C-alpha cells in the first residue's frame, strides 16, 4: 500500500497514526506542496491523504482510509469519531491554523524542501485574517487558547482514569495536538504531553517540533 501525505497535514497524521498503531505495512510518500500532478493523476484532484491499495484502487478521505485499515487488521473498532471529539476538533482547527500556518513552511518538512513549495504555501494560506507576521506576534495570546484545548483533550482522552477511548478518537486528537508542538511558547499539561510523546513513538508519527 502507498500513502501519499504532507508531513504537516492533520488528516494525513490521523491516518498514519492508525496504521502505526495497527502495525500495518504502508509505504508513506511525502509529495511537494506545489506538486499539482501526483494525486491528481490518481484521484482527479490535488489532496492528501491518498491511499493506493495493493490492487491499485485508491481512497482519498481520511476516515475511509482508517475504515480500510481497521478492516485490514480485522478490528471491530469504529472509524467514526465520537461527538465529543468532533466538537473538540471544530474548536481546535482555527488555533491550529494560527500556530501552524506561519511556522510549518520554515521547518524541515519534506513538502517544503523547495523555495517554490514554500512560496506556494504562503500564497495559498496567508490571508488578512491569517497574516503570518501578525500571528507570530500574537503567539502568547494564541498559546493561552491552545492550552485550554490541550486540557480539554486530556479530559476527553481520560488519561487519568485509563478508560477506553477509540483508536479513531485518539488519532484525531493526536493529529491536531502534534501541530501545537510547533510553538515553543505553549505550556503543556504534563499528562497530555507524556501521552503525546508515548504514542508518537508507538505510532512512529513524529511530533511537529521546530527542529523536525
| Helix orientation angle between 190-203 and 167-180, rounded to the nearest 10 degrees | 110
Beta partners for residue 5, in sequence order: 30
pLDDT in tens, 104-127: 999 999 999 999 999 999 999 999
How many CB atoms sit inside 10 A of residue 122's CB?
12
* 3 state SS of 131: coil
Domain spanning 83-203, CATH class? mainly alpha
**Which residue has 486530556 as its cell numbers?**
154
For the chain, what percentages of helix, strand and coil (3-state, to nearest 5) are there?
55, 5, 40
Instruction: List the domain boundaries for the chain.
Output: 2-72, 83-203
Q: How far apart are CA 20 and CA 9, in angstroms?
A: 16
| Helix orientation angle between 62-72 and 167-180, rounded to the nearest 10 degrees | 130
pTM for this model (two decimals): 0.96
pLDDT in tens, 10-66: 999 999 999 999 999 999 999 999 999 999 999 999 999 999 999 999 999 999 999
* 3 state SS of 79: coil
Give the pLDDT mean for 158-187.
94
Question: What CATH number was assigned to the domain covering residues 2-72?
Answer: 3.40.30.10
Amino acid at each position: 500500500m502507498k500513502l501519499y501525505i504532507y508531513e504537516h497535514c492533520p488528516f494525513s497524521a490521523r491516518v498514519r497514526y492508525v496504521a502505526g498503531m495497527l502495525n500495518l505495512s504502508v509505504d508513506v510518500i511525502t509529495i511537494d506542496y506545489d506538486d499539482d500532478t501526483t494525486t491528481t493523476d490518481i484521484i482527479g484532484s490535488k489532496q492528501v491523504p491518498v491511499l493506493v491499495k495493493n490492487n491499485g484502487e485508491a481512497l482519498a478521505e481520511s476516515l475511509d482510509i482508517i475504515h480500510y485499515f481497521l478492516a485490514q487488521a480485522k478490528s471491530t473498532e469504529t472509524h467514526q469519531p465520537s461527538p465529543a471529539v468532533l466538537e473538540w476538533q471544530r474548536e481546535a482547527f482555527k488555533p491550529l491554523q494560527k500556530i501552524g500556518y506561519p511556522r510549518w513552511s520554515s521547518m524541515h518538512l519534506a513538502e517544503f524542501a523547495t523555495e517554490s513549495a514554500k512560496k506556494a504555501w504562503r500564497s495559498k494560506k496567508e490571508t488578512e485574517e491569517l497574516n503570518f507576521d501578525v500571528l507570530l506576534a500574537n503567539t502568547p495570546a494564541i498559546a493561552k487558547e491552545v492550552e485550554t484545548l490541550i486540557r480539554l483533550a486530556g479530559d476527553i482522552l481520560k488519561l487519568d482514569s485509563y478508560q477506553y477511548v477509540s483508536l479513531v478518537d485518539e488519532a484525531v486528537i493526536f493529529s491536531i495536538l502534534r501541530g501545537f508542538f510547533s510553538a515553543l511558547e505553549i505550556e503543556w499539561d504534563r499528562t497530555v504531553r507524556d501521552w503525546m510523546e508515548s504514542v508518537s513513538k508507538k505510532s512512529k508519527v513524529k511530533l511537529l517540533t521546530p527542529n523536525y
